[in-house]
C-alpha cells in the first residue's frame, strides 16, 4: 500500500485503556535502524495505539529490522483502499520500492516470524509453536472482547470477571505445563525466543499494566510463565524498543 494516510481517528476497538501514559506516536517514526536483513524495510500502518499493531512492531524490533510506523491521518479516506477495511497492514519495501502489502495482524506476525527466525526449525516444534500461538490468540480475543467489545457496563464487568476467574487461570495452568516440560527455561522451545513468547508478552503486558490484584496473584501460580515474560522484556532489542519514548501508547 503506497497510499498516503491521513487524520488521527482512532476507532474504539483500537484504543485499549492504559494506566501508563506514553507520549503520542508521531505519524512516521523510525524505530530501529540496525538492520542486517538485505535491503528490506517495513512499514506498520496502524492507529496511534498499541492494539493489534503491537505484535508486528515488536517482531520487527526483535528482528532488528528497518521499519517505521505509519498512522493514517484520515482513516475514512483510506479504509476502502485496504484489503479488508481494517488495520494493521504491513508494507514491505525493497530498496525503497513496495513489494508486498499484507493485512491481518496474526498473518503478518506469522509472515514476519518466518523472516526473523522466530519459528522453531524442527517441523513438530514449529506446529506446536503454532498451537501455542492459537491458545494465546484465544486469550487475546477474550481480553479485547472483555475490555473493548462490550458496551453494557454490567455485561462488561461479568466478562472481565470470567477472564480473571476462569480463562486466565486455565490458560496459565496449561501454559505452565509446556514451559516446565522445556526445563523451566522460560522459553517454549530450546533456549530461544519464538513467536508465541512475543505474542504472550504483548497480551500480558496489557494485563500487567492494569495493576489488578487478581492478575498479580495469578502470576504467582505460573512462575515459569513469569520467567518467559522477563525473558522477552530483558532481550536487548526488546528492552530498547520498550523504552523508546515515542512507543505507541495503549490509548491516545
Quick one: how many helices (H) and strands (E) in the chain? Answer: 10, 5
For ligand GSH, the binding residue among 93, 106, 145, 237 (CB under 6 A) is 106
Return the SS3 of 88. Answer: coil
Binding mask 150-179 for ligand GSH (x = CB under 6 A): ------------------------------
Query: For residue 31, which of 67, 74, 55 has the smallest C-alpha distance?
Result: 67
Give the range of 101-109, 156-164, 201-209, 218-226 binding ligand GSH by CB under 6 A.
101-109
Q: Does 105 sit near ligand GSH (CB under 6 A)? A: yes
* Chain mean position to CA 15: 14
Instruction: Report d(CA 42, CA 31) in Å as an integer.
Output: 11
CB-count burial class (<10 Å; 0-12, 13-18, 19+) for 56: buried
Q: Does 87 sit near ligand GSH (CB under 6 A)? A: yes
Min CB(85)–ligand GSH separation in Å: 6
Q: Does 219 sit near ligand GSH (CB under 6 A)? A: no
For ligand GSH, the binding residue among 2, 4, 13, 170 (CB under 6 A) is 13
CB-count burial class (<10 Å; 0-12, 13-18, 19+) for 185: middle
**Of 104 and 219, CB closest to ligand GSH:** 104
Residue pointed to by grid coordinates 523472516: 115
Q: Does 51 sit near ligand GSH (CB under 6 A)? A: yes
**Of 109 and 160, CB closest to ligand GSH:** 109
Instruction: Report d(CA 23, CA 39) in Å as an integer.
Output: 30
Instruction: Report d(CA 96, CA 121) in Å as an integer.
Output: 30
**Of 18 and 219, CB closest to ligand GSH:** 18
Q: Does 14 sit near ligand GSH (CB under 6 A)? A: yes
Min CB(66)–ligand GSH separation in Å: 22
How big is the chain, counted in residues? 252
Give the range of 94-102, 104-112, 168-176, 240-248 binding ligand GSH by CB under 6 A.
104-112
Residue pointed to by grid coordinates 513469569: 226
Give the range of 65-73, 85-93, 173-181, 191-199 binding ligand GSH by CB under 6 A.
85-93
Q: Does 18 sit near ligand GSH (CB under 6 A)? A: no
Cell of 38: 538485505
Cell of 110: 506469522
Q: Does 55 sit near ligand GSH (CB under 6 A)? A: no
Instruction: Report d(CA 218, CA 241) in Å as an integer.
Output: 27
Which residues contact ligand GSH (rule: CB under 6 A)?
Answer: 11, 13-14, 51-52, 79, 85-88, 104-106
Amino acid at each position: 500500500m503506497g497510499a498516503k494516510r491521513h487524520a488521527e481517528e482512532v476507532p474504539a476497538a483500537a484504543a485499549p485503556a492504559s494506566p501508563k501514559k506514553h507520549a503520542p506516536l508521531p505519524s512516521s517514526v523510525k524505530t530501529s535502524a540496525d538492520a542486517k536483513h538485505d535491503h528490506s524495510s517495513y512499514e506498520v500502518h496502524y492507529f496511534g495505539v498499541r492494539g493489534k499493531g503491537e505484535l508486528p512492531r515488536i517482531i520487527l524490533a526483535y528482528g532488528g529490522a528497518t521499519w517505521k510506523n505509519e498512522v493514517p491521518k484520515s482513516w475514512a479516506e483510506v479504509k476502502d483502499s485496504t484489503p479488508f477495511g481494517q488495520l494493521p497492514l504491513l508494507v514491505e519495501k525493497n530498496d525503497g520500492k513496495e513489494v508486498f502489502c499484507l493485512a491481518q495482524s496474526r498473518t503478518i506476525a506469522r509472515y514476519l516470524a518466518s523472516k526473523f527466525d522466530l519459528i522453531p526449525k524442527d517441523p513438530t516444534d514449529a506446529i506446536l509453536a503454532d498451537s501455542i500461538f492459537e491458545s494465546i490468540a484465544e486469550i487475546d480475543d477474550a481480553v479485547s472482547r472483555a475490555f473493548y467489545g462490550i458496551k453494557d457496563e454490567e455485561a462488561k464487568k461479568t466478562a472481565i470477571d470470567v477472564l480473571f476467574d476462569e480463562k486466565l487461570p486455565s490458560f496459565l495452568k496449561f501454559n505452565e505445563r509446556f514451559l516446565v516440560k522445556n526445563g523451566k527455561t522460560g522459553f517454549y522451545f530450546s533456549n530461544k525466543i519464538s513467536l508465541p513468547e512475543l505474542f504472550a508478552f504483548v497480551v500480558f503486558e496489557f494485563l500487567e499494566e492494569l495493576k489488578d490484584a487478581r492478575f498479580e496473584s495469578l502470576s504467582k501460580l505460573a512462575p515459569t510463565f513469569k520467567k518467559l515474560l522477563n525473558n522477552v522484556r530483558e532481550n536487548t532489542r526488546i528492552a530498547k524498543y520498550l523504552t523508546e519514548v515515542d512507543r505507541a501508547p495503549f490509548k491516545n
